[in-house]
Amino acid sequence: MQSRVEILGLSPDALTTACGQWGQKPFRARQLLRWIHQRGQSDFSQMTDLARDFREQLQARAQVLTPPVLRDHVSADGTRKWLLDVGGGNAIETVFIPETSRGTLCVSTQAGCAVHCRFCSTGHQGFSRNLSSHEIIGQLWLALRALERDGVRGRVPLSSDHLDDDDTAEPRSRLISNVVFMGMGEPLQNYEATLAALRIMLDDHAYGLSRRRVTVSTSGVVPMIDRLRLDCPVALAVSLHAPDDSLRDQLVPINRKYPIDELLNSCLRYLDRAPRDFITFEYVMLDGVNDSDECAEQLLERVRRVPCKFNLIPFNPFPGSGLRKSPAERVRRFAQRLSDGGRVTTIRRTRGDDIDAACGQLAGEVRDRTGVNERIRHRVIPLAEAQ
Q: Kindly name the residue from 93, 135, 186, 282 that is annotated as catalytic.
A: 93
In degrees rounded to 5, what are phi and psi of residue 99?
Answer: -135, 170
Q: Look at residue 157 and give its three-state secondary structure.
A: strand
Pairing of strands 80-87, 69-74: antiparallel
Q: How far apart are CA 331 and CA 286, in angstroms?
A: 9
Q: How far apart are CA 387 and CA 384, in angstroms?
A: 6
Q: Look at residue 126 and give its three-state secondary structure.
A: coil
Q: Could you tell me which of 5, 120, 12 has the C-alpha nearest to residue 57?
A: 5
Q: Which residues contact 368 (CB under 8 A, 6 or more apart)?
A: 112, 125, 126, 127, 128
Give yes or no for a contact between 380 and 251, defined as CB atoms under 8 angstroms apart.
no
Q: Look at residue 178 and give its three-state secondary structure.
A: strand
Q: Kindly name the residue from 106, 120, 232, 359 that is annotated as catalytic.
A: 359
DSSP 198-211: HHHHH-TTTT---G
Give yes or no for a contact between 375 and 137, defined as CB atoms under 8 angstroms apart.
no
Q: Is 359 a catalytic residue?
A: yes
Q: How far apart are CA 86 and CA 62, in angstroms?
A: 19
* Catalytic site positions: 93, 359
